[in-house]
């Protein structure tokens, strides 16, 4: 038996994630339409509470980067945390008995999840102009890059959590006690600038808050003035970007360490 | 090293004093055995005897607590990568990707094992024809029946030319006809590929087909031989009967035939004797309590198991349900806690007590 390119297993694990995303038509469409529905109905509804003359920006436009980031995050979390089931009842076993490096399984899974999130992000971004957001090619690419940075880190984080779950039953508690607070404190639904101090303090440890602030800086840069944006975001673009990169590096390392132990 | 390779030709699996503990529970306790090349070797035992734990260790899914295992000449703990290359595995539960077609499932496997495209195409045809799934190769797994899924799993396990095929309860949950069919494939595979097959089962009739079987109970191998030799452990025939008053019947029989091998198992009395048919009339004369049922038969492996362990193989079934525990959640949220495997934690607690 000849040995092939050692990255083939990594590729096929990544490829499987992509196939599964497109094969599951229902999941594909809901992943695109749910955020758009939230933007259109929820956003337009909330807009009436704060009339435009009080806020000097459109609430739906404020809402957009948050919902974009969140829906991508939920996407990667759901596909990486599902590895808990996969290990117990599913396909992960087939990969585990194969002569494949553990790191390849981890990164195949993480990159697969990130790619599906990028596809989703790309499609949602196409909606932005219809909400009155001015996009340029540079902003578009920048936003995709930021989604990648954010989702990669969160995917690793999901895998990290999954690797530490000793029982499948703890899963629902995990979503309630870890994921939900992170989502609410991400600044997607409201600006973190004016919330009580204790919330701001917690938000400083929340990678999602950095990711969504970075997205907001990037996507709204042509639509909303610099002053308004600095009033809406907790972190500057540079801060957020730096944090995301450090977070990604750190969590990759941690995840790999935990994941290897989890599997043997 | 040379010595090692000389052994390889005969013994493809060699297990010495293998143990696996889960906390205080000894799932596998100091077992040793070896499997010869081209053999069908069976592990027979009740639920929870340690069959799946053993197979998981041999397939590198679990780390042994102690002991030495060599598979195809490779050390299990030091060279898991090489061991994985030389084994094929069919799990107890169905592990196929439901959204993919049969062919794609095989393709995925081939890529994981690093087969070249040409090798894959040739081999795919071979294994699918062997398991009679060639016409259905474009079907999605969703539309497969239980038996077809099992066959596909066997085909997949064969794809990368493994030297040893591991089957963990290959026929569990299948109807008798499908079960027979699966066995036909297993025999065909052995004949064609000259493969060593290691399987676990809790069905007596399946164990009888194996070349050699190890009977395992409470994590220990209690007997290991060919089915025929094992059955010879029980001399001749078996008479099993029930009476309305077993105590009295036992007493009477012991008085009349002091040499008799008489045992009481639950509500039944069991006699091992060389010519059972001649003994039956004598027995009926001696026993005064009314006999409610009586049976005379050749011993099966079930009797061997009963003889050795004093229990039936499928006596106490029923699974334990795990409960949710807060401890694991706290462990999850605590970033500073060292990552101890569960078993070590339990050990630690026990020591403190």
pLDDT in tens, B99-150: 889 999 999 999 889 888 888 999 999 889 888 888 998 998 888 888 889 8
Residues of A in contact with B96 (CB under 8 A): 91
For B192-243, the pLDDT digits (tens) are 888 899 999 888 888 888 899 998 888 889 889 888 888 887 767 888 888 8
pLDDT of A2 reads 47
Number of other CB atoms surrounding residue B187 within 10 Å: 12
pLDDT of B18 reads 92
3-class DSSP state of B124: helix
ipTM above 0.90, yes or no: no
Instruction: Give B322's pLDDT tier (boundaries 50, 70, 90).
Output: very low
Q: Which of A97, A108, A158, A176 is best to mutate for the B interface (most B CBs within 10 A)?
A: A97
Average pLDDT of chain B is: 81
For A197-227, the pLDDT digits (tens) are 898 888 899 999 999 999 999 998 888 888 8
Sign of CA dihedral A32, A37, A42, A47: positive
In chain B, positions 236-295, which contact chain A (CB-CB < 8 Å)?
A: none
Residues of B in contact with A20 (CB under 8 A): 97, 99
pLDDT of A52 reads 62
**CA–CA distances in Å: residue B339 to residues A164, A190, B333, B345:** 8, 37, 12, 10
User: B190: which residues sit within 8 A by CB, 6+ positions away?
Assistant: B38, B40, B197
Instruction: Give B313's pLDDT tier (boundaries 50, 70, 90).
Output: low
For B8-55, the pLDDT digits (tens) are 457 899 999 999 988 888 889 899 999 998 899 999 888 888 888 899
pLDDT of A140 reads 92
pLDDT of A223 reads 84
Q: pLDDT of chain A along its 264 residues, tens only?
A: 445 577 888 999 899 889 888 888 888 888 888 888 888 888 888 777 776 666 777 888 888 999 999 999 988 988 888 787 777 777 888 888 888 888 888 999 999 999 999 999 999 999 888 888 888 999 999 999 999 999 999 999 999 988 887 677 777 787 788 888 899 888 888 888 888 889 888 889 999 999 999 999 999 888 888 888 888 888 899 999 999 999 999 999 999 988 887 776
pTM here is: 0.77
CA pair distance B32, B164, nearest whole angstrom: 18
For A194-205, the pLDDT digits (tens) are 888 898 888 899
Say if the Cβ atoms of A3 and B333 lie within 8 Å. Answer: no
Is the pLDDT confidence value at B274 over 50? yes
Q: What is the DSSP string of A114-132?
A: HHHHHHHHHHHHTTGGGGT
Cα nearest neighbour of A163 on chain B? B332
Burial B157-176 (b: 16+ CB within 10 A, else e): bbbbebbbbbbbbbbeebee
Residues of B in contact with A165 (CB under 8 A): 328, 332
Domain borders along chain A are: 8-262
Say if the Cβ atoms of B331 and A166 lie within 8 Å. Answer: yes
User: A180: which residues sit within 8 A by CB, 6+ positions away?
Assistant: none
Q: Which of B95, B155, B331 is best to mutate for the A interface (most A CBs within 10 A)?
A: B95
């Amino acid at each position: 038996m000849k040995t092939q390119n050692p990255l083939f297993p990594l590729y096929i694990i990544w490829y499987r994630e992509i196939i599964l995303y497109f094969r599951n038509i229902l999941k594909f469409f809901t992943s695109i339409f749910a955020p758009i529905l939230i933007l259109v109905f929820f956003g337009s509804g909330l807009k009436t509470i704060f009339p435009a003359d009080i806020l000097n920006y459109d609430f739906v436009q404020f809402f957009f980067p948050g919902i974009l980031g969140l829906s991508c995050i939920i996407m990667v979390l759901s596909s990486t945390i599902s590895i808990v089931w996969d290990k117990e009842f599913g396909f992960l076993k087939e990969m585990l008995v194969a002569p494949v490096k553990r790191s390849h399984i981890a990164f195949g899974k993480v990159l697969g999840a990130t790619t599906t999130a990028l596809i989703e992000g790309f499609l949602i971004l196409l909606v932005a102009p219809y909400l009155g957001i001015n996009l340029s090619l540079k902003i578009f690419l920048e936003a995709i890059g930021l989604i990648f940075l954010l989702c990669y880190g969160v995917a690793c984080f999901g895998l990290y959590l999954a690797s530490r779950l000793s029982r499948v039953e703890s899963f629902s508690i995990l979503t309630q006690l870890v994921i939900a607070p992170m989502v609410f404190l991400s600044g997607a639904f409201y600006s973190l600038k004016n919330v009580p101090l204790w919330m701001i303090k917690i938000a400083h440890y929340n990678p999602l808050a950095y990711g969504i602030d970075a997205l907001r800086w990037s996507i709204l840069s042509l639509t909303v003035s610099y002053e308004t944006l600095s009033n809406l975001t907790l972190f500057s673009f540079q801060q957020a970007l730096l944090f995301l990169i450090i977070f990604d590096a750190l969590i990759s390392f941690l995840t790999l360490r935990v994941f290897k132990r989890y599997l043997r | 090293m040379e010595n090692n390779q000389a052994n390889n030709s005969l013994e493809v699996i060699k297990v010495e004093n293998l143990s696996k503990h889960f906390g205080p529970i000894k799932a596998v306790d100091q077992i040793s055995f070896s499997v010869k090349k081209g053999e069908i070797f069976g592990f027979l035992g009740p639920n929870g005897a340690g069959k799946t734990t053993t197979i998981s260790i041999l397939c590198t899914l679990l780390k042994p607590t102690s002991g030495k295992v060599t598979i195809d000449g490779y050390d299990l703990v030091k060279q898991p990568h090489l061991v994985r290359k030389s084994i094929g595995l069919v799990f107890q539960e169905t592990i196929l990707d439901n959204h993919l077609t049969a062919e794609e499932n095989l393709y995925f496997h081939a890529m994981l094992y690093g087969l070249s495209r040409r090798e894959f195409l040739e081999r795919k045809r071979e294994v699918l024809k062997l398991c009679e799934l060639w016409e259905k190769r474009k079907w999605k797994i969703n539309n497969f029946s239980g038996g077809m899924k099992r066959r596909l799993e066997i085909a997949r396990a064969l794809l990368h030319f493994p030297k040893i095929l591991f089957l963990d309860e290959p026929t569990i949950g299948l109807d008798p006809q499908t079960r027979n069919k699966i066995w036909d494939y297993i025999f065909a595979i052995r004949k064609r590929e000259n493969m060593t097959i290691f399987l676990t089962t809790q069905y007596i009739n399946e164990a009888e087909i194996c070349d050699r079987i190890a009977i395992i109970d409470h994590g220990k191998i209690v007997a290991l031989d060919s089915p025929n030799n094992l059955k010879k452990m029980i001399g001749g025939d078996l008479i099993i009967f029930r009476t309305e008053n077993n105590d009295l019947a036992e007493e009477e029989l012991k008085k009349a035939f002091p040499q008799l091998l008489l045992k009481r198992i639950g509500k039944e009395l069991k006699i091992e004797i060389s010519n059972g048919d001649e003994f039956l009339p004598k027995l009926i004369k001696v026993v005064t309590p009314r006999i409610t049922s009586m049976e005379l038969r050749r011993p099966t492996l079930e009797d061997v198991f009963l003889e050795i362990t004093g229990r039936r193989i499928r006596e106490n079934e029923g699974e334990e349900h795990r409960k949710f525990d807060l401890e694991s959640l706290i462990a999850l949220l605590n970033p500073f806690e060292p990552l101890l495997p569960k078993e070590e934690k339990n050990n630690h607690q026990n020591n403190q007590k």
